[in-house]
Chain A
Amino acid sequence: GAVVSQHPSWVICKSGTSVKIECRSLDFQATTMFWYRQFPKQSLMLMATSNEGSKATYEQGVEKDKFLINHASLTLSTLTVTSAHPEDSSFYICSARPTANYGYTFGSGTRLTVV
């Protein structure tokens, strides 16, 4: 149980375009989802916390206008990278945990390449 599905697995886009990444909890409801970013040989860095029905909480240094997060339902959170630039190329991973326990589950990640 506690599966998180993330799509797409990889995407290549042109500079200036926007890319949407979806994160779905398949068998549980997630009031909170987390979005991480990983640069090569670096740690997973928390970008933002997505809250169902309310605004996301962004970590310091993360541009909220650039990384739009929407958590419209208890099973879906989306991260949209707007006006993407090559420096946005990275591996993005979402995570969620079923309420009332600590079982953090991760999506399979999205490799974004901006050309």
Chain B
Amino acid sequence: DQQVKQNSPSLSVQEGRISILNCDYTNSMFDYFLWYKKYPAEGPTFLISISSIKDKNEDGRFTVFLNKSAKHLSLHIVPSQPGDSAVYFCAASASGYALNFGKGTSLLVTP
């Protein structure tokens, strides 16, 4: 049973615009959320995280928003760059246990 869901398998955005990647979860015990970027045949690379005590965390061009009541989080990339093209995974954990991943969203940033 998929506890973390990314319902958009792909997203295409023009360079310079905002990319918004969405993620929903079902387990209310999740207290830590992360976004990873992954290129083919490589391990995921950590991007940004947020704990359940916050509703927003910002790091440069990346901002993650958490809406606990809706069990929803999103990753905003502003401005989007062609080098951001990759698969983005949303992940969540409960009390530091293993990560539960969504299926990923493939982002394509076009020039």
Binding site for B on A (CB under 8 A): 4, 6, 9-10, 34, 36, 41-46, 49, 91, 93, 95, 97, 102-109, 111
Contacts and interface: CB of A to CB of B under 8 A. Distances in A.
B100 A102 contact: no
B44 to A, nearest CB: 5
B111 interface: no
Interface in B2-22: 2, 4, 9
A41 B97 CA distance: 24
19 contacts: A4-B43, A6-B43, A9-B41, A34-B99, A41-B104, A43-B101, A43-B102, A44-B99, A45-B101, A46-B99, A91-B41, A102-B96, A103-B46, A104-B99, A106-B36, A106-B45, A106-B46, A107-B43, A108-B43
